[in-house]
Amino acid sequence: MTDAIKPPWAISLWSNADHIYAELPNPGGKTSHVIKVSNDPAGISKLLVLAKYRDASSKLGNKGDPTQQQIESPKYDESMVRRTRERLKFTPEQRMGARVILRKMGLI
C-alpha cells in the first residue's frame, strides 16, 4: 500500500553496525546503484545532503545521485588548511632597543 505513494526517485536505506547503505534508483526506471556511508553523524550528514538534492531530475554524478567515489572523497575546505605564518625577522639592534624599552617599563 505504501509503495503506491513512493516516488520513483525515493531512496531505500538499511544499515549494519558499521555502515548505512542507500539504494539510489534511477528516476528513469533503469538500474539502481548502492552507496555506503559510515554509521556515524558524518555519514548521516552526507545522506541528508543527498536527500536534499534528490529529485526526479537527478543524474549519476550529481549531488542527488553521487557515486561511491564521490561519497568517499573529502571535500576541499580552505578553512581547514593551516598556513605557516611568516616568521618576523628582527635585527640585533632592534632586539636590544626592545629590551631597553621593556627595562624602562619595569617588565624585565
Residues 65-87: tens digit of each pLDDT? 888 888 887 665 555 556 677 88
Q: What percent of the chain has pLDDT over 90?
A: 30
DSSP the chain: -GGGGS-TT--EEEE-SSEEEEEE--TTSS--EEEEEESSHHHHHHHHHHHHH-STT--TTSTTS--HHHHHSPPP-GGGPPPPPPPP---HHHHHHHHHHHHHHT--
pTM of the predicted model, to two decimals?
0.61
Domains of the chain: which residue ranges? 1-73
Condensed to tens digits (0 to 9), the pLDDT of residues 1-13 reads 455 688 888 899 9
Question: In the predicted model, what is the mean pLDDT of the chain?
Answer: 83
